[in-house]
Structures are given as structure tokens and as C-alpha cells.
Amino acid sequence: MIATLRLSARNLMRYQRRTWLTAGLITIGVVAMLLFVSAAGSFKNVMIGQITDSMIGHLQVHRKGYVASVDNLPLNLNIGAKMLDKVKAELATEPGIAATSVRLKLGAMFSNYTETTSIRLNGIDPQAEDATVPGLRTRISEGDKTGPLVAPGQLLIPELIAKGFKVKVGDTVVLVATNRDGSVNGKNFTVRGVLEQVTGPGGRDGYLHQDDARELLRMEEPEAMEIAIRLHDMGALPAVEASLGAKLEKLVNKEGKPVLELHSWKALSPFANIAGMIDLMTMFIRVMLVAIVLVSVMNVMLMAVYERIREIGTLAAIGTPPRRILGLYVGEGLLLGLIGAAVGVALSLAVVALLNVYPLQFPFGRQIITLQPTLSIAEIATVALLVVGMAVLASLQPAWRASRMDPIQALRHV
Amino acid sequence: MPLIEARGISRIYKTGDVEIAALRDISLRIDEREFVAFVGPSGSGKTTLLNLVGCLDHPSSGTLTVMGTDVARLGRTAAAAFRGEHLGFVFQEFNLVPVLSAYENVEYPLLMVRNWPPDKRRAQVMKLLDAVGMTDQAYKRPDQLSGGQKQRVAVARALVSEPQLVLADEPTANLDHDSAHKVLTLMKQLRDDTGVTFVFSTHDPKIMEAAERTLVLEDGHLVREQRA
């Protein structure tokens, strides 16, 4: 085996320029692939992190039908107090859950006493919300980023309204909301902070204390429109979703039908589709890499076989077993793949390290995204194995041809 | 037991509907330690006969045994194994592997065909390089050697795995007279030293004189036999 590979390496060095060109082409393919994967992965992670850490959480529980009509912020699709206790009990049994936040979602009229507009609001328990979406406080662009997110009587307002209505931190505003029965209630609030808007649902919502939300909605009991859930490990999302989904399915109404629905962030945010497209593009790039390796290695190996027909005849004549001749040519393909993959991975790691020292930033909507690309061992191993596997595959046909060559015909070749 | 025994062998090639008989009804016997030449003009069938004896081709009819083995029955892999174990080859154009040194070319059959252990391999290679007078040139590549030197390396490669039979197809055709004479003298000397049988083809009258026995071929027929 080692002897075969050594001879394969010597053969590759016959035509050094061709060998380095082919290995270089494979290297470029590997670098392009790994850099795309790391940059796209970084973008995905930043966006998903922002969506899940500052708004949605990893999972959400609603009463059935609520998500379908979430744009209207319905008040008649609440999770009642008794059901809420049952849900909390089930959530407590799920070891993958790190934190949960019960939210009261409502629409209200926002007024600075001279102008009025509509606003979407979340009534929250500040501590629970902080634990569930720790990124929310990082969006506070004006106001104190430390301390409780909101205290009773305080309001976090979206940037759009703050700018449009020229409202500053410390100003007094009034919220007027209609409750489930149709009666109207109003309350004064102090602006505690201004929130940067982010892409996605809830990215332009305001926040108030849950006690204030209950008061505005004249809610007697602790009900909820939404329960946001944070997991210890995002990788465990499918497992927790399946496990929790099964548990919630057992919580039924008087007719014996399930009353709750569980959604992951993927079902709640349109960015999941963008993430899916990024994955699809990654697959296309992989296909291109496969094509580059297949075509370049096969081309080189076909030429190598054609140029060395007489030599193949000699080796076969002096008794070299066909499998050994096959091994010689497969070995050349293997080495080309190994060189291309090794240099490509090394270069990619160097570029990724450089991008972490000098990070790339680009605007995305009203946000500035900072890319911090990383390469996982799994991704490197996948690409390296793909390249080496394809290089071996590409050399198989020429190698097979060489091993099956008739020695007499080969020796006669001019 | 004869080393090579052919009985009524023919080799017919088909090109479309046309049949060309390269060899017709050849019967011969070659014993151990012989130094035999197949002679005849171009197209007489010398190379075809060498190819059949060398298990590189199969006769269309007749029986051919080499060292007691009916070589016509050997498949591709078995024929390769038989060649690797029992036969050595010397080619007209030397056919050394250009990326390997003289030493490595001689070592090749032991390394890639016979799988000898390193120490034994090295001793054997050096013995053969010494026998052909190429020790000083051991680490030169073929493109750094003269034609005569290349053929001496090729002879060493043919003998390194201790075959019973060495087949040489026009081994001196690409050499000047002096080099050709030296290579033939070397082959004969090695036959005397090792007991290996040499069968070679030539159309050069001066070279055929070196053979102890010549089998003359014309148009695929074995027309006569001469002993020195």
C-alpha cells in the first residue's frame, strides 16, 4: 500500500505543473466551499440568534388558532389560568428547557397627548423575559440597559414610534386598550427605553409589565396569550419540540380535543425560509465542488493513462497484478484529492481566522450584521471527505481502464 | 520435462471478416539453461511466439506448456501471477519506468509483484546491479543512462525475481554493435551463473550468431532449426 502510494506520488511529480494546477483547482473549490459555509453559517447564526434571543425564543406555546390570527392580536384566544398552570407543570418536567416567559400580547393606542398611533405590546414578567430572551436588553438603544427590563408603570417603545412621535426616555405617554368585552381602558406610562427594531415578527413591538397589561385589559386572572421558551441547547430543539408537543397534546378541552399548539422559531419567523435557502445554496456549492473535483481529477487521470499506455503494458507484462495497477492510478487521484483538501482546509482556516481578527460588517435592513465565521470539525471533515472521495471516484474509471489493458496492445502503443 | 513445449500452436488474428495467421502449426521444445533465438524477418511471427510463451497472449489452437503449465488456460490475473513468478522480460526499447532510478527499476518486481521483505530485496537488487555492472549508476534515472546501460538495467530487472525463463524481444535492436555484443555476452554469462533459460528474438544475423540454438520463422511457420 505504502509502496503503491509512493510510486503514485512519483508519477504525479512527472508533470508537476499539471499536478499543481489540478491540486490548485481543488484547493480553490475547497476554499470557496468552506468560506461560503462559514460566512453563510455566521450570517445564519447571527440572524437566528437575534430572532430567538431577542424576540421569539426557541419555542412558543399558544392556544390553538392564535398563531393563525396573530396579526389581529386576538383577546379571545388566551390560555386560561387553569390551563396555564397545567402548561407550566408540563414545562417544568422538560429537562431541555432553560427558561420560560408568559406573555400577554395586546394591541393599543399610543399617545403622546398630541398624536396617536397603534402599537403592539407584550406584557411581560421582566425577570422571566430576561431569562428567556436575554438579547432583548441589548436592543435598548436609548435608556438604561441595566436593571429590570420594565417596572410597573414603565414602557419600552419601538424606535419607529420614538422617532415618529419625538418621544424620549422619561417622557410620559398614554396607552389606551380595548379589552375582551369591548370596554376601553387607559393608563399613563413613563418611557423607560427605546428598542432598536429587528427583522421578523415582534421586531417592532413595545414592552410593558404584565401587571400593567392585566390592568389595561381588566384581566382578573393570570392568563396568557403566549409562552416563550428558551432551551439549554438549540441543537436539542427537535427532540424537545417532539417531547413537549406530545405532552401538550394531552392537555384537552371539555370535548377531549387538544387546546394548545407548539411552534418552533422556524414556524414563526420568515427567516427560517431564508435559512433554508442558504442551506440549499450550500448544497449547490457542494455540487459545484464535486463537479470541479470530478472533472479535474478525471481529466488528469485520463491523460495520465493515455500518456503511459506503454508503461502500463510493461508493468502488466512483468507480472504486476491488475489490482496493483488499479491501485497506482487510484493512488494518484487519492493524493491529488488529499493535497487539494489539505491545502484548501489550511487556507480556509487561515482566512476564517483573519476574518475574526478583522470582522466583516454589512448592513441588513436597518441593522449592521457583523460576521464572525467559524468552521466546525464536522464541516471540515465533510468537505475533506467529499473531496477525497470524489477524487478517488474520478480516478476509478481511468484506473480500471489501465488495469484492464491488454499488455500486448499497450506495449505496441506509440 | 521440457521448459517450453508447443504442439501445433497457431495464432490467428481477426480484423472484421479478414483472418490473419501470425503463427501456423508451430511445434517446438526448449529445455532448461538453453540460450535460444527466434529469428526471421519482420512479420515472421517472432514477437507473437514470444508473446504466447510469455503468457501475454493465447494460442488460437494447439497446446503450449511453460514449466508444465498449460498457459492457454490462464486467465488475466493468473497469467500476471505466472509471469511475475516464473518469467522475466527484456524489451527492445528497454521500457524502464522513467520516474524510478536504476535501483528502483530493478527493485520494482520484488516490491510490487513479489512482495519481498526490504532487507532481502536490497541484497538481491544490489547483487543483480553488480552482476550487470551497474552498481555505480544505481541511483541514476533512465534518462541519465546510455542505451546499453538501460538495457543492462532491464536485464537485471528481468532476472531479479529469479525466474526460470527470460524472454527478450529484440533486446539489441536499439543498441550499437558494441553495446549489443556486451548485452548478449552479459545475458549468456548470467545464464551460465544462474541457470536461467534465455529466449530472445532478433532479425540481426550478427546477433543470432550468439545464440546456441536458433529457430527460424518465416510467414508464421517454423521453417528450420540450427544449432551453433
Give me the phi and psi of A111, to 5 degrees please: -135, 140
Q: Which domain holds residue A354?
A: 2-50+273-412
Domain check: are A193 and A336 in the same one? no
Write the DSSP symbol of residue B3.
S
Among all chains, which residue has been given the C-alpha cell 535460444? B36
Tell me whether A317 touches chain B (CB under 8 Å).
yes
d(CA A156, CA A248): 32
Query: Of the candidates A124, A227, A221, which has an alpha carbon nearest to the alpha carbon of residue A180?
Result: A221
Q: Which domain holds residue B179?
A: 33-56+74-227
Domain check: are A295 and A342 in the same one? yes
Write the DSSP symbol of residue A79.
B
Domain check: are A223 and A248 in the same one? yes
Domain check: are A93 and A228 in the same one? yes
Structural domain includes residue A59: no
Structural domain includes residue B146: yes
Any residues with CB less than 8 A from the CB of B39 and at least 6 apart, and which?
B46, B201, B202, B203, B208, B211, B214, B215, B216, B217
Structural domain includes residue A267: no
> Over 80: is that where the pLDDT of A177 sits?
yes
Domain check: are A84 and A229 in the same one? yes
d(CA A169, CA A190): 8
Any residues with CB less than 8 A from the CB of B206 and at least 6 apart, and which?
B177, B180
Q: Do A319 and B100 touch (CB under 8 A)?
A: no
Domain check: are A124 and A242 in the same one? yes
Q: How many domains does chain A have?
A: 2
Domain check: are A227 and A119 in the same one? yes
Domain check: are A115 and A205 in the same one? yes
Q: Which of A215, A235, A258 is the last residue of a domain?
A: A258
> Over 90: is that where the pLDDT of A2 sits?
no
Q: How many domains does chain B have?
A: 1
Structural domain includes residue A222: yes
Structural domain includes residue B202: yes
Of A168-172, A181-185, A227-231, B125-129, the range with the lowest mean pLDDT is A181-185
Give me the phi and psi of A98, to 5 degrees please: -95, -40
* CB-nearest partner of A319 from B84, B98, B99: B84
| pLDDT tens digits, A400-412 | 999 999 998 898 8
Q: Which of A231, A258, A285 is the last residue of a domain?
A: A258
Structural domain includes residue B8: no
State residue A202's pLDDT score.
62
Q: Distance between alpha carbon A6 and the CA centroid of its chain, in Å?
A: 43
Tell me whether B97 touches chain A (CB under 8 Å).
yes
Structural domain includes residue B9: no
* CB-nearest partner of B112 from A324, A404, A408: A324
Q: Do B91 and A411 touch (CB under 8 A)?
A: yes
Mean of pLDDT values over A369-388 = 91
Mean of pLDDT values over A219-225 = 89
Shortest Cα distance, chain B CAs vs residue A384, angstroms? 29
Structural domain includes residue B147: yes
Structural domain includes residue A326: yes
Structural domain includes residue B148: yes
Structural domain includes residue B133: yes
Structural domain includes residue A268: no
Higher pLDDT, A162 or B178: A162
Query: Of the candidates A97, A179, A195, which has an alpha carbon nearest to the alpha carbon of residue A140?
Result: A195
Kindly give the residue spans of alpha helices, DSSP state H, lying in A134-228.
Answer: 159-164, 210-217
Structural domain includes residue A318: yes
Tell me whether A11 touches chain B (CB under 8 Å).
yes
What CATH number corresponds to the domain at position B109? Answer: 3.40.50.300
Mean of pLDDT values over A225-241 = 94
Mean of pLDDT values over A217-230 = 92
Domain check: are A291 and A357 in the same one? yes
* CB-nearest partner of A321 from B81, B91, B99: B81
All residues of chain B having their beta carbon less than 8 Å from the beta carbon of residue A408 are 51, 56-57
pTM of the entire predicted model: 0.77
Structural domain includes residue B63: no
d(CA B206, CA B220): 22
Structural domain includes residue A60: no
